[in-house]
Chains A and B, each alone.
Chain A
Amino acid sequence: MDTKVSVSPKSLIDQIVVPGDVVLDLSNMTNQTIKLGSGLRQDGDAISAVRAGKLSYSKPNTYWVESSHKRYIPRLEDHVLGIVVDYKAENFWVDIKGAQLALLPGLAFEGVTRRNMPKFEVGTLLYARVVKTNTGMNPELSCTDASGKAALFGPLRDGFMFETSTGLSRMLNSQTCPVLEALGKKLCFEIAIGINGRVWVNATAPRSVIIVANAIMNSESLSGTQQRIMVEKLLAKISD
């Protein structure tokens, strides 16, 4: 494959790239340091995309490919929603939609010693943090924050969990998410968003849970204003 891409790399930013597209040519930018995020690969002097998506750039020197999938690639310090699938000795095996099951040590909870280790049934939904992602090993989770406090992590009881794409959960997790803002003005609910594409919603009234879940699932591929209009329509329907 000795195809030469004639477009200048700068013009590819915020454009859709597909696997094999040469994003950057290192031969004419020798005195720069760049950081590569997910979806990019170095092959000799060329940086090429390995996933399809939007090429994003953040100052000063970070490049990555923004894409949305049904599978999750574990990354350090991500907050995820996992489901317990097995427990062996002192560890829980948790499904986080990745290639491999994640390991949650029974001692990775606040104030837990060997004597009072928590017991979770298979199928329990957990809100946890990714603490280890080494290639060739199962990722490791923890239900404490960096200082060892429980900080909202732990099992999620009641409520309703549904699956989304990773792109949608990233959108929900951003600072200003129009759909959640619009819903929050009218309804009272609890929400936990796992960046791995799982969302858990709980409210006192079951119908709020259904509305919130439907609004979120509808909001994929809608722009900010469209999301607000969609939520308003949904809320107007139920207030009649």
Chain B
Amino acid sequence: MEIDREDGRTPNQLRPLACSRNILHRPHGSASWSQGDTKVLAAVYGPKAGTKKNENPEKACFEVIWKPKSGQIGKAEKEYEMILKKTIQSICVLTVNPNTTTSVIIQVVHDDGSLLPCAINAACAALVDAGIPMKHLAVAICCCLADNGYVVLDPNKLEEKKMRLSLI
């Protein structure tokens, strides 16, 4: 029943996690989060006065900016931004700071699989560091379905390519 993984992990074994907060000087909250070789930096600015167009001014507004390791952002990154924004909106108390905008900036340092869960964890840590009022914390993990039907947790880039489907 065992399936072989490139790095010798068991199917539900995670890569080593590391997190440090308040690592950047300028933002109001920041955190770095790494899972194995995947590393993401998150910075939070705000809340700043005023909301963007098409947003409800009676609630706090969030904007997520995704910075890839290199190059321009494409469709996949836009989707990541959207998922992250939805996640943040669901865990934060939006009524405490009405008519304000909080910017969350995600910088990918290295991508070795499970990038979006890593970014969600980093963003959550940065929001806690910034003192944004939150209902609860968010935790994300990536799982993959292997060809033989086994579920594998926290895949790296190589495994992600081989797998049939990945869920976050």
Contacts and interface: CB of A to CB of B under 8 A. Distances in A.
Contacts of A101: 49
Given A69-B29, A100-B49, A20 B100 contact: no
Contact of B134 (A20, A67, A71, A135): A20
Contacts of A192: none
Interface in B64-96: 91, 93, 96
Interface residues of B, number: 22
Contact of A135 (B91, B98, B133): B98
A209 to B, nearest CB: 22
Nearest to B57: A136
Interface range for A = 20 to 34
B99 A136 contact: yes
A141 B97 CA distance: 19
Contacts of A71: 28, 46-47, 130-131
Contacts of A70: 28-29, 130
Interface in A21-77: 39, 41, 43, 48, 50-52, 67, 69-71
Given A19-B136, A69-B28, A99-B48, A51 B131 contact: yes
A1 interface: yes
B137 A19 contact: yes
A230 interface: no
A99 B29 contact: no
A18 interface: yes
Q: Please classify the interface of chain A as helix (H, G, I), strand (E, B), loop, or mixed, using the class held by over half of its residues.
A: loop
A47 B93 CA distance: 14
A41 B96 CA distance: 10
Given A19-B128, A135-B98, A99 B136 contact: no
Nearest to B60: A99
A135 B134 CA distance: 18
B97 to A, nearest CB: 5
Contacts of B29: 69-70
A91 B114 CA distance: 52
B137 A18 contact: yes
Contacts of A135: 98
A141 to B, nearest CB: 16
A1 B96 CA distance: 21
Contacts of B137: 18-20
A41 B49 contact: no
Contact of B136 (A1, A39, A67): A1
Contacts of B100: 99-100
Interface of B: 28-29, 46-49, 91, 93, 96-100, 128-131, 133-137
Given A19-B133, A51-B131, A69-B29, 11 more contacts: A19-B134, A19-B135, A20-B134, A20-B137, A50-B93, A50-B134, A52-B128, A52-B129, A71-B28, A71-B130, A99-B46
